[in-house]
Amino acid sequence: MERKNAWLTYSPEQLEAVEALSASYKAFLDHGKTERECVRLAVSMAKDAGYRSLREAIREGKPLKPGDKLYDTQMQKALLLFHIGEKPLEEGMNIVGAHIDSPRIDIKQNPLYENSELAYADTHYYGGIKKYQWVARPLALHGVVVRKDGTAVNVVIGEDENDPVVGISDLLIHLSQEQMTKKASEVITGEGLDIILAGQPLQGEEKDAVKATLVKLLKEKYGIEEEDFLSAELEAVPAEKARDFGLDRSMILGYGHDDRVCAYAEVQAMLSLPAVPEYTACCILTDKEEIGSVGATGMQAKFFENAVCEMLHLCGGKAGLGLRRALANSRMLSCDVSAGFDPMFAEAFEKKNAAMLGRGVCYNKFTGSRGKSGSNDANAEFLGRVRACMDDAQVNWQTAELGRVDLGGGGTIAYICALYGMEVVDSGVAVLNMHAPQEIISKADLYEAVRAYTAFLKTMGARKDEL
């Protein structure tokens, strides 16, 4: 059941569409390196397409009608888009959901110190990373610093070509005989990921003069006091821009494909829907997936459920039983990336059940690890309907598993949404170098993801009556 490479199926017009979509996606990656930035970009795209705030609609108290388009944010780090359909909400929604957080290096709340006339920021890494991949490379600082008076300073340092960059040093090869004998997981430790920020002492200072230079610079240029780090969210991310990969330009190299490639495809699919879809369409962009979907902005929080309850009320439905019916009757693609088959590490995969770059969007019936632990494991009836939906829309698609059975695994938000009783399956884009500072995808797979999510939102119907 080997699938055809998607590139072989494209007309000249489709090839142009692939390139246009890829160009806009690269710009999204470059300007959306944090959750907050992704939410701002997606909200701007939604507003341009006629979406309005759900919270404004709640304040107005006017009934919602088919065709209405609404957005709702959660603490500026998660986003919901709704496009009201003809069918009552109680008959369920067609949902696509992705996460917008990516592995990174976070700055601690009390970070600044000086050691041997270098000023550093103490850090804590976020998500699953190979720590040695983050040293000896340019990093940019993104995030927000909130002062005691409530004013916020948005920070982006290292992206403009005239900006300085920061980074983490590594031991020179000439002195690394002992380092090179360590296991890869021990070559660089978590405590060794502190970031160099400055190296020039401040005239007249006798103690920690380099740190004094840094504190002075932060105050004068950014209006940030050292104590303001206590209420800051600052992330160190790769400073490189997304760019074409491969001499044929068929791929994209960039930071954050996991899972912003699926998030971007979802938003594009939502914006391409007809004026009034049959079923209400919903797009979820959530935070904290890389650390267990926890916290107020993660999928385990109730912001999605609360928003649906508010919409149901504005649509004239019953907020109690009606909410349960709306969620249980919904259908969802949990849009998260999958491991692309890498022939350089073929022993980590079972090839005929692995995702190949360029063969289209991939479906993982289950994720989890080893004995499917922590997996949603989608039901066969739903998969049959998804297959028909994809084939009817002539989408290039494939099935996938995340590596060899006893080797590892991973998780998504699918199992969390399945707790409502809705039908859910994982659907995403194959990635090489997943969780590395620079990941690789095929432009064809991005294009097919948009086509797949559009077809699902437009045409996926309710489940058949059960025995």
pLDDT tens by residue, the chain, 467 residues: 678 999 999 999 999 999 999 999 999 999 999 999 999 999 999 999 999 999 999 999 999 999 999 999 999 999 999 999 999 999 999 999 999 999 999 999 999 999 999 999 999 999 999 999 999 999 999 999 999 999 999 999 999 999 999 999 999 999 999 999 999 999 999 999 999 999 999 999 889 999 999 999 999 998 999 999 999 999 999 999 999 999 999 999 999 999 999 999 999 999 999 999 999 999 999 999 999 999 999 999 999 999 999 999 999 877 789 999 999 999 999 999 999 999 999 999 889 999 999 999 999 988 877 778 778 888 999 999 999 999 999 999 999 988 888 777 778 999 999 999 999 999 999 999 999 999 999 999 999 999 999 999 999 988 766 54
Give the pLDDT of residue 464.
67
Rounded Cα gap, residues 285 and 197, in angstroms: 32
Number of helices followed by number of strands (H, E) in the chain: 11, 22
Question: What is each CA distance from 273 to 20, 73, 240, 260, 313, in whole angstroms?
Answer: 19, 21, 34, 20, 24
Bridge-partner residues for 81, per DSSP? Answer: 71, 283
Tokens 């960039």 locate to 254
Rounded Cα gap, residues 395 and 14, in angstroms: 12
Coil, helix or strand at residue 232: strand
Q: Which two tokens stand for residue 239?
A: 């400073």
What's the CATH fold of domain 6-102+255-459? Aminopeptidase (3.40.630)
Q: Is the dihedral of CA 85, 89, 90, 96 positive or negative?
A: positive
DSSP letter for 354, please.
S
Burial of 406 (0-12, 13-18, 19+ CB in 10 A): exposed
Contact call for residues 64 and 314 (beta carbons, < 8 A):
yes
- Domain coordinates in residue numbering, the chain: 6-102+255-459, 104-238
Put residue 334 in one of left, alpha, beta given phi > 0 → left and psi -120 to 50 → alpha: beta
Rounded Cα gap, residues 74 and 39, in angstroms: 9
Question: Which residue type, as a one-letter code, is found at position 179?
Answer: Q
Question: Quick one: the chain helix, strand, coil %, rounded to 5?
Answer: 35, 25, 40
Question: Which residue type, as a one-letter code, is found at position 277?
Answer: P
Coil, helix or strand at residue 273: coil
Give the pLDDT of residue 369.
73
Bridge-partner residues for 431, per DSSP? Answer: 339
Q: Which two tokens stand for residue 315?
A: 């649509």
Question: What are the residues whose beta carbons fall under 8 Å from the beta carbon of 150, sequence distance 6 or more?
Answer: none
Domain 104-238: homologous superfamily in CATH: Aminopeptidase i, Domain 2 (2.30.250.10)
At residue 348's C-alpha, the angle toward residues 347 and 353, to 5°, is 100
- What is the enclosing helix (H) or strand (E) of 434? none
Contact call for residues 301 and 74 (beta carbons, < 8 A):
yes
Give the pLDDT of residue 42.
98
Residue 155 main-chain phi, psi, to 5 deg: -115, 125
Q: In what order do the strands lie in the sheet with 251-254?
A: 243-245, 251-254, 439-442
Coil, helix or strand at residue 391: helix
Give the pLDDT of residue 465.
64
